[in-house]
């Protein structure tokens, strides 16, 4: 029997810290947020139906992520008291049902409600997944693998769907989400048990980080997600506004996501060899500069901007979520972190839709860059605290 797999009773299970189990957990997390990875395609697809404008298409995405936020928040309050395996199965089935309903009854009046319900289920699923990921030996690596899967599939489907959207309806996107959720559902029985990590301290006050560091870590996640999604959601529309062709724009967006997958794989391998603070600081400085390049109406600048931002996002996000997950041993803060990530994803594009007005994309880009810069500054303190506790491994309280 290898370290990658074990037997529990008469049922085959994967070892909880092995690569196969990490990939399954990463797939669960990815399936719950794949919708966000396809957001530019969704907004463009909704716009091309004639029932939605760019602004109202952005609101559809925002309300999906608002539901995601509320689902994550609600699950964070009960996740320690429920059977996580049953919860994952139930939530995946609910997501598939809402995607199917979006195909059958996806008009303007009903789509807002359907995507809000989908968001409730997907947000709750992210919270459950992150709680379990936080109980692994190297949560940063599992999160990096999840990010790699997200941007890889997001890139592939963005390239494929952008070219075919004029000929095929938005229902193609909902169908893809159903298929991905179904595959993940079939993989769930392979996961073993994930009990909370034993405490190092007997004093309850020492069994998690101080409230200041927890709040800073969570605020950094909100600002980071808000800034990134503000730039990403409107990337295709921004390219078209710069008079780039739809084929060029969609291809660049998709290929940039694939480049981001390589960045996530690097982080899964590199992990915390240089701690957390230095990588987060350097990468967020580079990412802020890359996003700012979206202001330049040139194809080369557009490509450099998206490739740079995608690579940095895929490397920074696992660090920020791992910082939150290391604030306690049970995964509760990680579940709250999922709420914060979803809130940032929803708030950023929602605020951007207000800023957009009559095509004021410059204000959208500046808001995105400012949010990313603020996230980096705020994340420095909790990252530095964890580095002092344990520079190269997971902190145990």
**Does residue 397 sit within a domain?**
no
**Does residue 127 sit within a domain?**
yes
Within the chain, where are the H helices? 19-37, 39-48, 54-78, 84-104, 108-133, 139-164, 171-187, 211-233, 235-241, 246-270, 277-292, 299-325, 332-356, 361-389
**Does residue 73 sit within a domain?**
yes
**Does residue 2 sit within a domain?**
no
Taking the alpha carbons of 370, 372, 377, 382 in that order, is the dihedral positive or negative?
positive
Q: Which residues of 308-323 are buried (b: 16+ CB within 10 A; e: fewer)?
A: bbbbbbbbbbbbbbbb
pLDDT of residue 107: 76
**Does residue 394 sit within a domain?**
no
pLDDT of residue 8: 47
Per-residue pLDDT of the chain (397 residues; tens, 9 = 90+): 444 444 444 468 898 889 999 999 999 999 999 988 888 788 888 888 778 887 788 788 878 888 988 999 999 899 989 999 999 999 999 999 999 999 998 777 789 999 999 999 999 999 999 999 989 888 888 998 998 898 888 888 888 887 777 777 788 899 999 999 999 999 999 999 998 877 765 655 567 889 999 999 999 999 999 999 888 878 888 898 899 988 898 889 878 888 888 888 888 887 778 889 999 999 999 999 999 999 999 999 999 999 999 999 989 999 999 999 899 888 889 889 988 988 888 788 778 778 776 678 888 899 999 999 999 999 999 999 999 998 887 787 7
Any idea what the CATH number is for the domain that residue 37 is in? 1.20.1250.20
- Number of domains making up the chain: 1
The residue segments making up the domain with residue 153 are 9-389
Q: Which H or E run contains 11? A: strand 11-14
**Does residue 201 sit within a domain?**
yes
**Does residue 293 sit within a domain?**
yes
**Does residue 257 sit within a domain?**
yes
Distance of CA 165 to the CA centre of its chain: 24
Taking the alpha carbons of 386, 271, 329, 214 in that order, is the dihedral positive or negative?
positive
Whether 262 and 311 have beta carbons less than 8 Å apart is answered as yes
């Amino acid at each position: 029997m290898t370290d990658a797999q074990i037997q529990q009773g008469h049922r085959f299970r994967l070892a909880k810290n092995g690569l196969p189990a990490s990939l399954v957990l990463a797939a669960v997390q990815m399936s719950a947020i794949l919708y966000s990875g396809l957001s530019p395609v969704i907004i463009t697809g909704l716009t091309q139906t004639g029932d939605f404008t760019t602004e109202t298409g952005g609101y559809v995405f925002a309300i999906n992520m608002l539901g995601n936020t509320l689902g994550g928040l609600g699950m964070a309050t009960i996740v320690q008291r429920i059977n996580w395996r049953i919860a994952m199965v139930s939530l995946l089935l609910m997501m598939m049902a809402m995607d199917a309903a979006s195909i059958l009854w996806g008009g303007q009046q009903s789509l807002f409600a359907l995507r809000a319900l989908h968001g409730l289920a997907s947000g709750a699923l992210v919270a459950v997944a992150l709680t379990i990921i936080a109980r692994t030996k190297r949560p940063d690596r599992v999160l990096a693998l999840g990010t790699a899967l997200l941007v890889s599939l997001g890139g592939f489907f963005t390239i494929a769907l952008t070219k075919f959207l004029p000929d095929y309806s938005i229902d193609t996107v909902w169908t893809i989400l159903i298929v991905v959720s179904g595959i993940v559902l079939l993989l769930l029985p392979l996961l073993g048990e994930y009990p909370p990590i034993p405490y190092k301290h007997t004093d309850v006050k020492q069994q998690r980080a101080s409230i200041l560091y927890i709040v800073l870590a969570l605020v950094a996640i909100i600002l980071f997600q808000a800034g990134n999604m503000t730039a990403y959601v409107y990337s295709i529309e921004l390219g078209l506004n710069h008079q780039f062709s739809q084929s060029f724009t969609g291809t660049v967006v998709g290929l940039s996501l694939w480049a981001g997958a390589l960045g996530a794989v690097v982080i899964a391998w590199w992990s915390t060899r240089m701690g957390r603070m230095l990588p987060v600081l350097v990468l967020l400085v580079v990412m802020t500069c890359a996003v700012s390049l979206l202001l330049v109406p040139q194809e080369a600048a557009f490509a450099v901007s998206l490739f740079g931002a995608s690579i940095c996002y895929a490397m920074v996000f696992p660090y920020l979520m791992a910082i939150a997950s290391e604030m306690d041993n049970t995964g509760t803060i990680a579940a709250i972190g999922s709420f914060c990530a979803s809130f940032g994803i929803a708030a950023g594009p929602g605020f951007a839709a207000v800023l957009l007005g009559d095509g004021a994309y410059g204000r959208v880009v500046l808001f995105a860059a400012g949010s990313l810069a603020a996230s980096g500054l705020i994340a420095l303190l909790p990252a530095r605290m964890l580095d002092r506790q344990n520079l190269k491994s997971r902190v145990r309280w």
